[in-house]
Each structure stands twice: as C-alpha cells, then as structure tokens.
Chains A and B, each alone.
Chain A
C-alpha cells in the first residue's frame, strides 16, 4: 500500500470543509489523510507548516480572491488544488498560471476532488471539465498552441462525454485521450510565470512520456527555473 497523501483544507465555509472531509473519508482506498483545516491562509504562509503534500484551496476567502497567494503556497512546497465556485475562465487560467495543479469547481467536487488531490501529489496533470472549459475559452496571447487532436479531446471532454466515449468518437484509445488532455495541460505548465509546481508537472509529464522535451522548447525552458 502506498503512503497516504496528506492534505490541508483552506475554506471559510465550515459546511464545505465538512463536505470535503466526507469525500476524503468515503474514498474506498483511504488514499488521502486530512491533517489540518483552516479558514484563512495566515498559518500557511511560512515554511510548510503544517506539513502536508497538498492544499485544497477555496479561491475566495472572506470575500477576497486569493489566487495571488498561490505562488507563496507553492514556494512553501505545497501542491495546490483550487476548489472554487468561481468558474470564470480568466480566474481559472490565472489560478493555473500561479502554479495551482488543478482546478475543481464546487459542482465537480464529489467526483473529482480526491482524484485531483492524488494527481497533484504525484505531479500529474488532472483536468476537470470546468478546467477544460477555461482552456478552450482562453484568449490570452500567451496561451500555448494546442494540436487539433488535443483541442478536440478537450472539447469533447468539456461537452460531457466520458473519456471512453471521447476515444470512440476520435477513433483512438481511452489512454490516448488521457494523453492528449494531459499534454494540453502540461503545455500550460510551460507558459507564463515560473513555479516549482509547474516545473515538477512538466518533468513528470516528460518522464511519463506525455510530452517530449522537444515539444516544450518552443515555449520556455523549464529547467532554468527548477528549484526542487
């Protein structure tokens, strides 16, 4: 049995914290262990205290957007999974650019939050439908160039198909669908500001064969910013 992934929940609504806790508890494999909950970020600003792998972060705490605080959390060594009611594509893209691993909307929580936490702890891409939506809607001039296949896989996934159905539609295997979506996500890690989490995600993507090192040279050298 692999070691449990430790997680912190930062959420200002106790009822949501309660819900997230119940999803973590009801995971059949008990793969995630909750170590701490907090209603704001004050305790986490310094060096990785409490010690945990992943932070589940509500993007709005006490009425304020905290996307700008994500780089601090990442620098402290946490992997960040944003869990938010804000589905505005611009906010989602900013969240990813600031180094969050994944974005999970509040509606997607029960199906995706635990899986997203596990993926983040392993530095693997995890793309929810709402995140696919933001990537499709992205109008930033700095957005990565996605291949037609990546674009199509993202679109069908956003539309609500299962990955198996996407595969049937595109006449490819379900595994290849995952590859395309992961590759699109990894390309995002190669753009914008540098963050340890993005470098780690890219390194892992290369290791897993999702992306070839040559495929990201066109965006930016990730190795130069690697700190861990």
Chain B
C-alpha cells in the first residue's frame, strides 16, 4: 500500500523516461530521416502526392503509437493495429517507388520499423521479431515483383542489417533499462520496508517505555501503600485500583516484539484512556492479524470507545484472525446496551446483551 507506492512510481517514472526517449527517436527519424529523404527524392516518384499521403498515414500511426506507449504496455489488439497500418503504408510506399532505385528513394522502411518498435517495445520480443521479419519480407517481395538484381539483393541485405540491427539494439537496451529500474525499485522497496519496520519498532519501544514510566507513578505507589498498610485490600476502591494496575501490567508484559499493526495500537490507546477512569482492560490477540485499512479501523475504534465509555469496571478486547479478515470483540460490564456507531467501510457489527454484560463483535472482511 503506502510502502509500495513510491517504489512502483519510481520504476514507472524510469520506464516512462525510456518510452519518451524512444518516441523522440521515432519522431525525429520520421521528420528528419524519412521526411528529408522523401523531399530530397520528390522528383523521382511517379506520384509524390501518394508518397506524401503514406508519410502522413505513418505520422498518424506514430502519434497513435506514442499515446499508446505512454499509457503503459499496449494491448495486442491496439499494438498490432498500429503495426499493421505502418506495415501496409510502408509496403505501399515501396511498391509505388521507382523499381530501379528502390532502396535509395524508399523512405518508408526505416520509419515503419521504428514505429513498430514503439508499440511493440514492451510486448514479447518475439512479436517485434515477427513484425520486423514481415516488413523485410514485404520490401523483398516488392523488389522481387520489380525483378530482383544481385546488386538490389546486396543493397536489401545491407539496409536490413543496418535498420533491423539498430531497432533490435534499441529494443534490447530499453528492456535492460526496464530490468535495472525494476531492480532499483525492488531494492528501494525492501529498504523502505526495513525502515518502516525499524520506525514501528521504535514507536512500540517508546510506547512501552511511556507505559513503564506510567507504572512507576501508578503501580509502584499502590504496592508501597499495600506494603505499608495504608491501603486496605478489603476496600473496594483499593481492589479496583489493583485490578486496573494488574491489567495494565499484564498488557505491558503480553506485548511481544512482533509488530502488531496500527489497529492494536489504537485499541491500546483507547484502553489507556479507559484505565484512567478506573476500568481494567485486557487486550488479547489470536493468530496472525491482517492489516486493516484506516477507514475500517476508525469504525472499529469508534465502537471500542463507545463500549469502553460505558464499561463500569472491566472490559476485554480480543482480536482474532478469521477467514479473510479479522474479528474484534468487546465484552464489558456496561450494565445496559451500548449505542454503537454505524457500521460500514467493510465492517459489520453484531451485539448481544446478557444481564449486565455486553458483547459486541466488529468483523472486517478484506473481500
């Protein structure tokens, strides 16, 4: 949750930067490389208007591909829609180029390859390979249709090696950078978690120390009074004081070193408040407890406060792991029913009154 967000964002930020670099590369290539080639050879084409139209189709495909790539890994449907449009435009542009000098005047081959790279970059590497192969096959078939010469074949192989090699190299580079970004994010995540654990342990330690100091002020004088005989164990007031201090001591001792989570802390805090009014509160947990989100915790602690406020001398709070959630229960001698705050936020509350004893259970489900 909060621990994952910054690191996921960090890894996402790096990936976005790599995507932007690829977009910059593709757009520059299309404007300067392909566009320049197109203008330079404009007199060689049988129809410059058709070539210009194909160039515009490709530009639209690049724009669409950029939007897709910036939104994350595109679905196979949208990625391949863009890829097939560029493939068609590139093959059509090649077919309309003068046969004799095809490789020199064909601006579309490289542009299509880069556009395909842009949308297929983060999909399986095999898909990019298929695309580049299909594109090369398209160009080769156009050349064969025009009547392939040995020099044409050599030129074809040279262009193939150059452009495909560069595109595969960029794809591999981005992949390596993605992996590095993920690793950096994972390292940051574990460091973040370790820091959070240490911080929580410190808070627990501090809370324990505070309680221990409080004992010095409350339990120690009581024991001293009992020993000196100034407090009479027969006195009901003294017995209540003893019960409260005993409950407090037990809580202090029961606290393990494990990180109990914020819900337990909040209930401990409610118990501390009730104790000041002379209510003995015990808190027990059973099983590994799930983390409860803040809004649900508030519903539970509101119920705790309502019940502890009405308790007369004693309250027991338990937290138990149950299927897909947690059951927090309260048993207190409230004398009468307690008006509980509204349930909600995934928390259901049940209650029962038996004589002077009130029971309520707040159950939170993660589903």
Contacts and interface: CB of A to CB of B under 8 A. Distances in A.
Contacts of A155: 320, 322, 327
Q: Is the interface of A mostly helix, strand, loop or mixed?
A: helix
A137 B286 contact: yes
A158 B286 contact: yes
A191 interface: no
A214 B353 CA distance: 38
Q: Is the interface of B mostly helix, strand, loop or mixed?
A: strand
B250 interface: yes
Interface stretch (A22-30, A45-53, A159-167): A159-167
Contact of B318 (A85, A158, A162): A158
Nearest to B327: A155
Contacts of B357: 161-162, 165
Interface of B: 250, 253-254, 256, 282, 284, 286-288, 316, 318, 320-322, 327, 329, 331, 352, 354, 357, 359, 361
B329 A160 contact: yes
A137 B354 contact: no
B359 A159 contact: yes
Contacts, number: 57
B286 A136 contact: yes
A109 interface: no
A165 B352 contact: yes
A155 B285 CA distance: 11
A160 B331 contact: yes
5 contacts: A133-B286, A136-B286, A155-B322, A158-B286, A160-B318
Contacts of A193: none
Interface in A123-182: 133-134, 136-137, 139, 155, 158-162, 164-165, 168-169
A160 B286 contact: no
Interface in A187-228: none
Given A133-B286, A136-B286, A162 B322 contact: no
A168 B354 CA distance: 9
For B282, B286, B288, the residue with the greatest tally of chain A CB atoms inside 10 Å of its CB is: B286
Contact of A159 (B254, B288, B321, B329): B329
Interface of A: 85, 87-89, 107, 133-134, 136-137, 139, 155, 158-162, 164-165, 168-169
Nearest to A85: B253
B250 A162 contact: no
A69 B48 CA distance: 97
Contact of B316 (A159, A165, A168, A169): A159
A136 B287 contact: yes
Nearest to A129: B284
Nearest to A138: B287
Q: Which 5 A-B pairs have the closest CB atoms?
A: A160-B331, A159-B329, A160-B316, A137-B287, A137-B286
B239 to A, nearest CB: 13
Contacts of B361: 159
A153 to B, nearest CB: 13
For A85, A155, A168, the residue with the greatest tally of chain B CB atoms inside 10 Å of its CB is: A155
A164 B286 contact: no
Contacts of B329: 159-160
A107 B250 CA distance: 9
Nearest to A159: B329
B254 A139 contact: no
B313 to A, nearest CB: 14
Contacts of A88: 256
A164 B331 CA distance: 14
B326 to A, nearest CB: 12
